[in-house]
Structure 1
Amino acid sequence: MNSEDASRPPEHVDKGKRRAQEPSERTPLLASSSRTLEEAAEPPDARRRLRATLTTVFLISLSICISFFILAALFAWSYASRASNLDPEHIINHDLVFSGPDKVDVLNITDDGGIWLNVKGRMGMDAGATIGVGSSEDDDFLEKMWKAVGRWGVRTLDRVSVNLTTIRITADYDSSAVLVTVDVPPIEVPLTADPPKDKSWLTKVSTPVLIHPTKNSTLLFHFLKESWHRGTLDVRADVGQAFIRGGSLNAGGWRSKFMGKMSNIKLFVRMKMPSIPGFPPPGRNVPFPSVPDLVKLQSFRVASEDGQLALNATATVVNPAPADFDLTVPSLPFMISLPHEPPIDLASVSTKPFCLAHPKVTVSISGAVLPISTSSFAVLSQFVTRYLSGEPNTILVSSPLLPNLSAEAEFPGPYPRPRLLRNVTIHDMKIRATGSMFLASGTVYARVVLPAGIEVGLDVFRVFPDVLIFDGEVPDTPLELFEHKDHKKHNETAPPEVPLPDPLPEKAFGHIRPDDWLPSVSSPIEPEDGQGIAYEVSAKVVDVPLEVLPGRQKEFSNFVGKVIFGSEGATAGIQGTAAVTVAIEGLPLHGPGRKAGEVVLSGLPFQGSVLVGKKSLFKPKQGSTWKDILHRIRSHIPIQFGPRRLPLEAFQFGVV
């Protein structure tokens, strides 16, 4: 202790109340602060409680987060597990819904026979049913919560992008029989978590599709016939792989991280065969309608235009598609051929763009006749002859866009059957006897009237008549009785000989058939009202043998008697068939020794009459007098006229 402290008097401690001392110069400034730090060094209970509370909240939050992430991982795992075990067939048949197609537009046809279509329809996928998160009244709380999270995830994902490899469509009975292949560009499939019962939830879609039909027409028609017999189209669709990615096409983001793949997808599809209007419903072993039953030629026009034969036609096609199905087809090229080995290309045509209509589609066609080789002349002549005879022809219809695929169709003959040769008669007809033969001479006249729709320039430059001569007008005998049916034989020297009708027609007594073609001259004339283009044809007949038909000597005698002793002569009916050789303007046919466009038409029936009388042509044979003739009547009996007899070599008679 120092002296200063010792000299200081001891302080008095007043335990009672006293006035606070005023701070002086000697009062410590940090006294209160030191006490505060000392007090803070010892934490109070409230702070300890706060710290404990914060720690608890942190631990609870951490636990909740960990539990949430674990639950989310479990949910994701459960959804992923279900998604990885999806059945493609079940998805396509039940969860993937496509309504339509509502409209199909043919966009283009590729060089290799592919057809680009734009297909419009409505589509959607019930993803809730796919992964099993659709709502149900029987779900408990945990199931409802689990499904609600799943539906929220579907709505958030919204859509997926699907990329398919080539789809092979085969017959269900033979997977190697490929009917068509289909290539679909990547498409977006909208997702729905819990769709309503109707189809209002479907989204409109439009996507291009490339199809390649089989080039094996036999396989295709066999499949259609079998399907028609059974009433269903049973096919198998094979897809190598399907790549699935979340989100829209070519879009990034978190949705694109969801990816999946399905391989070796095989699906059997059964569809009801559509009914065809006007035909029994398919099934029940009903035969498949033929192409001629489905396609009908309504109108046909061929005309000589600009040095070629232009074609225009209208056809109807039965439409088996549903009434709400809309199809737009652009102009399509086709080839018309005649069945032969190999087929003979006859015309190149194309259709005008058209849309489907019900119950039939009307298609307009235009084109031109193609050049035809010399070796095909006979086949073409047969085709034209059958058409002019009112008979149908079989043609082949194909398209250069679908090579090796052709279908038979019927090209009908005109109805009623056209009468090509009309008003046939013989001017200046003379019949004379020489030895035991009778020879006929004269000029044959006829009108050639083309059927409606055939507006071509003609040059009929030779004819070949095959005629029966009747005593009087021709009886009501069908012209077809005299028609030559074998159109396949076209002899360039002379048409094949037509067998005489059996039995012979009533009153027929003579038969005229030249040994060779007769040169003819033709010129256009004014057509009659309502008739087609007309031409007048004439050909001279010089000393053509007239054959008296077997057993018809009496009819011949009666006719000669009418000519000789009748005051007005006698009417001779003529009926038969003719062959003509025509040059058609614009028909691209050329060959050695032929006219351009030369076609032989045979078996053309005709009918007419001619009035035969004496008209000073009855003259005694040179060196004979009528007295000589009357003298010889009693001694020669080749033909008898009642009680009178006359030697035929003593006279000739001709047209009045």
Structure 2
Amino acid sequence: MSPDNILQAAVVFDGPRRITVLNSTWPDGMWVDVEGRVGVDAGVIIGVNEDPTGESFFKSLWKSFGRWGISKLRQVSVKTSTIDIRSQQDLSLVLASLDIPPLELPLSTNPPANLDWLTSISTPLLIRPTHNTTALMRFVRESWSLGAISVRADAAKLDVQGGSLRSSSWRNVVHRVISNLKTSIRVRIPSLPGLPHPGRNTPFPSISELITLCTFNLSTSADNLLIEAAATVIDPAPLNFDLNAPSLPFIVSLPSESFTPAHVASVKTKPFSLTHPNITLDIFGHVLPLSEDTLPLLSTFITRYLSGLSNPITIHTPIFADLSVNVDFPAPTIKPHILRDVTIRDMKIKPGNTFTASGTVLARVVLPKGMNVELDVKRVLPDVLVFDGEVPESVHLLEPASLRPPAPAPPPRRPLPDPIPEKAFGHIRPDDWLISRCVRIEPEAGEGAEFSVTARIVDVPLEVLPGRRSEFSDFVSKVIFGRQGAVAGILGTADVGVTVKGLPLDSPDHRDGMVLSGLPFKGSVRVGKKN
């Protein structure tokens, strides 16, 4: 038989039943231990298997002698050069190279139709995948669309010798060297739980469709921000395929249109094994030092997150240096509401050429679920619309919150909304930052870290909005003549200067932390006659 026919008709491999990764550095590839079952039907190679339709006495005797010879030979030792696995669609593309240590393969004759005659085997294997990951992913998608994997295995040399590897006997006389071995392999892709049925031009799902982020936690350590997360990945392997993987390293980056993605986190998975239908990954790591170029990207990320939107991120592993996967960091289940219960205690309005307001601003800063970081709100800059009565439910401010570096001077005043909301009569905006006091408090269930913030405002001008002089007069009348004063609704945004303990900022310009800008809030305050 030709070498290709021998591999196609005589060599039977069942598996792999189990794959165990033996190392985690993989500078030159990855060593794995492959377990399966293997057998060689030597009877079909030399034509001595029994013919179920019957045969002559002498032919049967001759075949019996051949089967006896195979039983005495028992096994062969196989040594092979590096095996290149090529795509049948593009033979110039080497998908992977395999180095296999010498093997001992058992010989059989007249094997049954089932696979019970196969012998269990375990062997280490060095796999060096192609560095052309774009071509590799294209091959995966094309194979999925066709419903089968079609490759060609090429080996420069295959050395087959009778007997075992460690013994010298007459069996070693049986010897054959095969050069330039080329054999085609086609494997049908089975249906896999959680994935569309392969074949019929069905597209392979995107990576983001396979991964689900279940939990995410960001916490403060002494000098860094720690990351813990749990994710599930649809297991793409057949049910009889088992794998134990060590800790795998990944870098998380924020994509940029103008330069290479900015690295923001280094994470690792805990060792894991395959489970159906989903693999659970426990992930841990830390935030990387943030450069000046990273901050605008981080600002965009936080702006979208606080607006209840998902964010594109890029994940790659040093194991495959040029393989990057674009996925979405999911939006929060509930749109974050950072500033809550905002009010002004002991608010006083003083008349004069210009009305002024004084009091103490109180608020809760509530971080989204999973963000359990230590922060200090050092200063605030509120921009407040004042209403006669509670703020109408239909009135909202749509400005998105964002993150930016602190500036030497306060940010410019925001324009008034156009049109001015119903019942709004006043506008309060200090000319400079208000120094604040921040105390961590017990968070509510289902929330991240929570802080109580207070800041004093002293004689800040109360600007009467254009065309709202009568509404202002009505409000003042309620304050003066009403038994319980008057309720003033407050609606606005605030810039909050924060320092986050452990946030690794490279630039000395960020020693004062960062500014969360445009945080919306809504509240109310009662202004009494004595005020």
TM-score scaled by length of structure 1: 0.73
Distance 1:190 1:532 in 2: 61
One-letter amino acid of the structure 2 residue matched with residue 208 of structure 1: P
1:179 aligns with 2:98: no
Distance 1:462 1:245, change over 3 A: same
For 2:366, the equivalent position in structure 1 comes to: 449
CA displacement at 1:194 relative to structure 2: 1.3
Greater CA deviation, 518-527 or 247-256?
518-527
Q: Between Structure 1 and Structure 2, which shows a larger proportion of strand residues?
A: 2
2:334 is paired with a residue whose SS is coil
For 2:450, the equivalent position in structure 1 comes to: 534
Q: How does 1:160-175 map to 2 (within 5 A)?
A: 160-175=76-91
Q: How does 1:167-566 map to 2 (within 5 A)?
A: 167-340=83-256, 341-431=259-349, 440-477=357-394, 481-484=397-400, 487=402, 492=407, 505-514=421-430, 517-528=433-444, 531-542=447-458, 555-556=471-472, 558-566=474-482
Distance 1:425 1:591, change over 3 A: same
CA displacement at 1:122 relative to structure 2: 0.4
Distance 1:554 1:344 in 2: 54
Tell me if the contact between 1:381 and 1:600 (Cα under 8 Å) persists in the aligned partners: no
Tell me if the contact between 2:298 and 2:403 (Cα under 8 Å) persists in the aligned partners: no
2:23 is paired with a residue whose SS is strand
Greater CA deviation, 545-554 or 388-397?
545-554
Tell me if the contact between 2:406 and 2:497 (Cα under 8 Å) persists in the aligned partners: no
Distance 1:301 1:540 in 2: 33
2:328 is paired with a residue whose SS is strand
For 2:19, the equivalent position in structure 1 comes to: 104
Distance 1:448 1:315 in 2: 28
One-letter amino acid of the structure 2 residue matched with residue 403 of structure 1: A
One-letter amino acid of the structure 1 residue matched with residue 508 of structure 2: P
1:175 is paired with a residue whose SS is coil
For 1:648, the equivalent position in structure 2 comes to: none
2:203 is paired with a residue whose SS is coil
Tell me if the contact between 1:521 and 1:539 (Cα under 8 Å) persists in the aligned partners: yes
One-letter amino acid of the structure 2 residue matched with residue 458 of structure 1: L
Distance 1:303 1:494 in 2: 30
Tell me if the contact between 1:438 and 1:547 (Cα under 8 Å) persists in the aligned partners: yes
1:117 is paired with a residue whose SS is strand
CA displacement at 1:491 relative to structure 2: 7.5
1:248 is paired with a residue whose SS is coil
Greater CA deviation, 293-302 or 231-240?
231-240
Is there any run of 5+ residues in structure 2 with no aligned partner, and where? none
CA displacement at 1:240 relative to structure 2: 2.2
One-letter amino acid of the structure 2 residue matched with residue 99 of structure 1: D
- CA deviations on 1:23-67 (whole Å, 9 max, x unpaired) are xxxxxxxxxxxxxxxxxxxxxxxxxxxxxxxxxxxxxxxxxxxxx
1:93 aligns with 2:11: no
Q: How does 1:39-78 map to 2 (within 5 A)?
A: none
CA displacement at 1:126 relative to structure 2: 1.0
For 1:609, the equivalent position in structure 2 comes to: 524
1:130 aligns with 2:130: no
One-letter amino acid of the structure 2 residue matched with residue 185 of structure 1: P
One-letter amino acid of the structure 1 residue matched with residue 315 of structure 2: V
CA displacement at 1:585 relative to structure 2: 1.0
CA displacement at 1:457 relative to structure 2: 1.3
One-letter amino acid of the structure 2 residue matched with residue 164 of structure 1: T
Distance 1:214 1:416 in 2: 42
Greater CA deviation, 549-558 or 306-315?
549-558
Greater CA deviation, 243-252 or 137-146?
137-146
Tell me if the contact between 2:395 and 2:421 (Cα under 8 Å) persists in the aligned partners: no
One-letter amino acid of the structure 2 residue matched with residue 471 of structure 1: D
CA displacement at 1:202 relative to structure 2: 0.1
Tell me if the contact between 2:252 and 2:316 (Cα under 8 Å) persists in the aligned partners: yes
One-letter amino acid of the structure 2 residue matched with residue 447 of structure 1: R
CA displacement at 1:349 relative to structure 2: 2.0
Greater CA deviation, 107-116 or 557-566?
557-566
Distance 1:188 1:433, change over 3 A: farther
Note the aligned Cα RMSD (angstroms).
2.9
CA displacement at 1:198 relative to structure 2: 0.9
Across the two proteins, how many residue pairs are aligned to each other?
527
For 1:152, the equivalent position in structure 2 comes to: 68
Distance 1:440 1:156, change over 3 A: same
Tell me if the contact between 2:405 and 2:514 (Cα under 8 Å) persists in the aligned partners: no
2:503 is paired with a residue whose SS is coil
Tell me if the contact between 1:495 and 1:602 (Cα under 8 Å) persists in the aligned partners: no
Distance 1:589 1:388 in 2: 21
Distance 2:470 2:56 in 1: 114
Distance 1:545 1:116, change over 3 A: farther
1:146 is paired with a residue whose SS is helix
2:93 is paired with a residue whose SS is strand
Distance 2:510 2:475 in 1: 42
2:22 is paired with a residue whose SS is strand
Work out which of the two has the higher radius of gyration on C-alpha atoms and give 1 or 2: 1
Greater CA deviation, 206-215 or 416-425?
416-425
Q: Between Structure 1 and Structure 2, which shows a larger proportion of helix residues?
A: 1
Identify the structure with bigger relative contact order (alpha carbons < 8 Å, sequence gap 6+): 2
Distance 1:301 1:489, change over 3 A: closer
Greater CA deviation, 239-248 or 411-420?
411-420
- CA deviations on 1:556-593 (whole Å, 9 max, x unpaired) are 55434433443322222223333322111112224324
Distance 1:495 1:223 in 2: 52
Distance 2:424 2:527 in 1: 16
CA displacement at 1:209 relative to structure 2: 0.9
One-letter amino acid of the structure 1 residue matched with residue 269 of structure 2: T
CA displacement at 1:484 relative to structure 2: 1.6
2:487 is paired with a residue whose SS is strand
Distance 2:282 2:336 in 1: 24
Distance 1:477 1:258, change over 3 A: farther
Aligned-pair identity in percent equals 51
